[in-house]
A and B are shown apart, each in its own frame.
Chain A
């Protein structure tokens, strides 16, 4: 077992990693920007190193500072958390070069999966259906028009290196195609320093479903069920649940089969997610996220597995404590992301409790939420035997939660959880846009 690990992240995910490390007997080193001096992860870690000023580009994203902090505080490994450098192959390479363990897959695997065109080709090779689309990048307007005609409108232009909705354009008719390819390409270039775009058929009512994968790097690949993340505000997930109301045993088995083959072949190590679009009883490969995800606790609830623990063991020792064949899904779990709508000082915090309730956060009374980072300040997760019971529990837990001093989206989440369409389970990724006006007027 390694003795000490540096967490190259902040806030909630850093706290989450510290908790598992403590149970594993691993000491933790936190890093922080000057705006995060009072952050809970700094208070909880065994040691903390200041790595820069508030702007993440000058602190949490400065590889040299993070690696120096790890080396000089005698860490053996770096956990990148989510976001920041978690899917940065160059960082993974630099960490390894300094003789440290990167808690994640090999840099080459991150590179391959990070390029969406190559990832699609790879998935297709392992028998996973991909959305009908172009085989490679598109640039020539005439050729693109032919492809779009073959696929049928609407089509979607996507950035090969993209994410978070950037470099993504939906095109509904031929007249708008050339212009949108050029805009998407420029947007992709500006955001990801890679202007490569490709085209897919755009599916109108789809669910966003993802499988949670854990792999030991030696060919053992476990699937911890799926998550449904269809409630999204402009590609930002708001509510996640496991299992998905739109996936049955047969579809789950078919998804898992291709995913396991792909991850085994890649010699994938650690935690990862494979995302699918689900529409009309079919599923299509979208992309792989080569890291742990924000919404991992819903999978932890239904499987009883500590994903961070297995991720660390897989990456540091090439082993896991779970038997892939023995994973069972038990009950229903739902997560609501609690986002800060304003920065400010927490004057009162009342955390929900009772059976089947988990609250992952870095908030504490008196803490000042800085304006510099991601707006998510907490995750409220519940577990119950069935979906109706889980939603009743979430309704209860959201009602118990009190965060004073800043504005949060608690009431908006409460509204969605009680909305008939959400309750019915029959919704897709366009659901939030349909209810946006009502939700955002909730006070």
Chain B
């Protein structure tokens, strides 16, 4: 592809209302993407994603999602590929997803943040049925401490706290199926 074609393409793309353009002619692969498209991806899960959870909470934005990448954490992908890798360790730290609460009532009460599940799994509050829960209500946990076990495909994954926080409430019960993005803990940064 020569410069002239490329420049003309970029200009036409800029003027069009396309959000993304992928061009492949065998020898060259060109991807043009407008900022709006990237924003659309970020905002797809939640209307009006914003930078700081605090600001979002104050404005009461509905369902604001702070993505893992925004927090500078490798995110669910790492966890998934590790899950799929042969010989992966049985005990695996999953970075927790953090979501600001979108429940108006709890917002008013506490402005807490939600720790959400990065995978589809079975929730266990403790390592064994008779052991005490890792993170009961009121407990203060340090960054990196285990919050719960998420069992997927017979793998016991430890969900770890991303920051120092206090547990305000536990949203899942022992043995519950938790979906991707489902709130598990409501926490307050300490």
With both chains docked as a complex, state the minimum distance between the C-beta of B55 and any C-beta of chain A, in angstroms: 21
Chain A stretch 15-72: residues in CB contact (< 8 A) with chain B? 34-35, 37, 49-55, 57-59, 62-69, 72
Q: Which residues of A contact B44 (CB under 8 A)?
A: 34-35, 54, 370, 372
| Stretch from B102-110, B114-122, B159-167 contacting the other chain | B114-122
Does A49 contact B80, Cβ atoms closer than 8 Å?
no
- Give the most central of B46, B122, B181: most A CB within 10 Å: B181
Chain A stretch 52-106: residues in CB contact (< 8 A) with chain B? 52-55, 57-59, 62-69, 72-73, 98
Does A343 contact B181, Cβ atoms closer than 8 Å?
no
With both chains docked as a complex, state the minimum distance between the C-beta of B65 and any C-beta of chain A, in angstroms: 8
Count, A-B residue pairs, CB within 8 A: 88
CA gap between A169 and B25 in the complex, in Å: 11
Task: Give B68's nearest chain A residue, CB to CB.
Answer: A53
Q: Which residues of A contact B181 (CB under 8 A)?
A: 34, 50, 53
CA gap between A65 and B45 in the complex, in Å: 18
Does A73 contact B177, Cβ atoms closer than 8 Å?
yes
| Stretch from B1-9, B16-24, B133-141 contacting the other chain | B16-24
Interface bits B36-67 vs A (CB < 8 Å: 1, else 0): 01001100111000000000000000000101
> Does B84 sit within 8 A of A, measured CB to CB?
yes
Does A53 contact B76, Cβ atoms closer than 8 Å?
yes
Q: Which residues of A contact B65 (CB under 8 A)?
A: 34
CA gap between A68 and B18 in the complex, in Å: 37
> Does B170 sit within 8 A of A, measured CB to CB?
no
Does B76 contact A58, Cβ atoms closer than 8 Å?
yes
CA gap between A68 and B44 in the complex, in Å: 24
Q: Given contacts A342-B19, A371-B41, is CB(A64)–CB(B80) below 8 Å?
A: yes
Does B179 contact A62, Cβ atoms closer than 8 Å?
no
Task: Give A90's nearest chain B residue, CB to CB.
Answer: B84
Does B37 contact A52, Cβ atoms closer than 8 Å?
no
Q: Which residues of A contact B182 (CB under 8 A)?
A: 50
Q: Which residues of B contact A49 (CB under 8 A)?
A: 120, 177, 179
Q: Which residues of A contact B41 (CB under 8 A)?
A: 35, 54-55, 371-372
Give which listed residue, A64, A65, A98, A183, contacts B26 with CB less than 8 A.
Answer: A183
Q: Which residues of B contact A34 (CB under 8 A)?
A: 44-46, 65, 180-181
Interface bits A370-397 vs B (CB < 8 Å: 1, else 0): 1110000000000000000000000000
> Does B10 sit within 8 A of A, measured CB to CB?
no
Task: Give B175's nearest chain A residue, CB to CB.
Answer: A72
Q: Given contacts A51-B180, A58-B77, A371-B40, is CB(A35)–CB(B119) below 8 Å?
A: no
| Count of chain B residues near A, Cβ 8 A | 30
Give which listed residue, B40, B46, B121, contacts A343 with CB less than 8 A.
Answer: B40
- Give the most central of B17, B40, B84, B179: most A CB within 10 Å: B179
Q: Which residues of A contact B152 (CB under 8 A)?
A: 64-65, 68
- Give the most central of B37, B44, B65, B182: most A CB within 10 Å: B44
Q: Which residues of B contact A53 (CB under 8 A)?
A: 45, 67, 76, 180-181
Q: Which residues of B contact A73 (CB under 8 A)?
A: 177
CA gap between A303 and B180 in the complex, in Å: 41
Does A35 contact B177, Cβ atoms closer than 8 Å?
no
Task: Give B41's nearest chain A residue, CB to CB.
Answer: A54
CA gap between A183 and B179 in the complex, in Å: 42
Does A50 contact B40, Cβ atoms closer than 8 Å?
no
Give which listed residue, A50, A52, A371, contacts B19 with CB less than 8 A.
Answer: A371
Task: Give A48's nearest chain B residue, CB to CB.
Answer: B179
Q: Which residues of B contact A72 (CB under 8 A)?
A: 120, 122, 177
Does A69 contact B120, Cβ atoms closer than 8 Å?
yes
Q: Which residues of A contact B131 (CB under 8 A)?
A: none
Does A58 contact B40, Cβ atoms closer than 8 Å?
no
> Does B153 sit within 8 A of A, measured CB to CB?
yes
With both chains docked as a complex, state the minimum distance between the C-beta of A151 and any C-beta of chain B, in angstroms: 21
> Does B83 sit within 8 A of A, measured CB to CB?
yes
CA gap between A187 and B84 in the complex, in Å: 25
Q: Which residues of B contact A342 (CB under 8 A)?
A: 17-19
- Give the most central of A35, A66, A169: most B CB within 10 Å: A35
Does A52 contact B153, Cβ atoms closer than 8 Å?
no
Q: Given contacts A49-B179, A50-B182, A371-B37, is CB(A65)–CB(B120) below 8 Å?
A: yes
With both chains docked as a complex, state the minimum distance between the C-beta of A267 and any C-beta of chain B, in angstroms: 28
Give which listed residue, B40, B80, B177, contacts A62 with CB less than 8 A.
Answer: B80
Q: Given contacts A64-B80, A371-B41, is CB(A59)–CB(B20) below 8 Å?
A: no
Interface bits A327-351 vs B (CB < 8 Å: 1, else 0): 0000000000000011100000000
Enumerate 25 A-B pairs (CB-CB under 8 Å) in ascending A order. A34-B181, A35-B41, A37-B45, A50-B179, A50-B182, A51-B180, A52-B76, A52-B180, A53-B67, A53-B180, A57-B77, A58-B76, A58-B77, A59-B180, A63-B84, A67-B153, A68-B119, A68-B177, A183-B27, A341-B18, A342-B19, A370-B40, A371-B19, A372-B41, A372-B44
- By Cβ-Cβ distance, the 9 closest A-B pairs, closest first, are A34-B45, A72-B177, A35-B44, A65-B120, A50-B179, A68-B120, A52-B180, A50-B180, A69-B120
